[in-house]
Amino acid sequence: MKLLLQIFTWWNEQTIGTRFHTWRHGQRVGQDELGNVYYQGGKDSEGRTRRWVIYNGYAEASAIPAGWHGWMHHRTDVSPADEKYTPREWQKAHRVNPTGTANAYRPQGSIAATGKRPRVTGDYDAWTPGS
């Protein structure tokens, strides 16, 4: 069943193409606290070492912690697995992306929000054709 999911869906862990590329070129670099596994190998179109992640569960880009995000985007050559990475005091802990859930941000006046939209004040002039 897991193989069928990987063949027909791209959002479940890894696709067959990613599995093949990982088998052929991948060198495991490390794993984060969420269970995502990071690899590198081969070259990208700019000549840099290609880096990728195989997610633990659904492919959700916001599920990459800050230290690994920097490594994935070539901001550093040292992975968090190779150094004693500690987040800075201003870095927040990971939160799951709430888009599409009841916890999603809904600004005042949104159809999905409660309450009413604030009344327009005199600081706005609507555009009219020919003006």
29 vs 45: CA distance, rounded Å: 21
Q: Which DSSP category does 53 fall into? A: E
Q: Quickly state the pLDDT bin for 9 (edges 50, 70, 90).
A: low
Measured over the CA atoms of residue 78, residue 96, residue 56 and residue 7, the dihedral's sign is negative
Domain of 52? 2-72
**Of the given ranges (7-21, 44-58, 79-93, 100-114), which has the lowest mean pLDDT?**
7-21
Give per-residue pLDDT as tens, 60-114.
888 888 888 888 899 988 888 888 877 888 888 777 788 888 888 888 777 777 7
Query: What's the confidence (pLDDT) of residue 38?
Result: 92
99 vs 38: CA distance, rounded Å: 25
- Judge whether 93 lies within some domain: no
Number of structural domains (the chain) is 1
Please tell me which residue, 117 or 79, carries the higher pLDDT value.
79
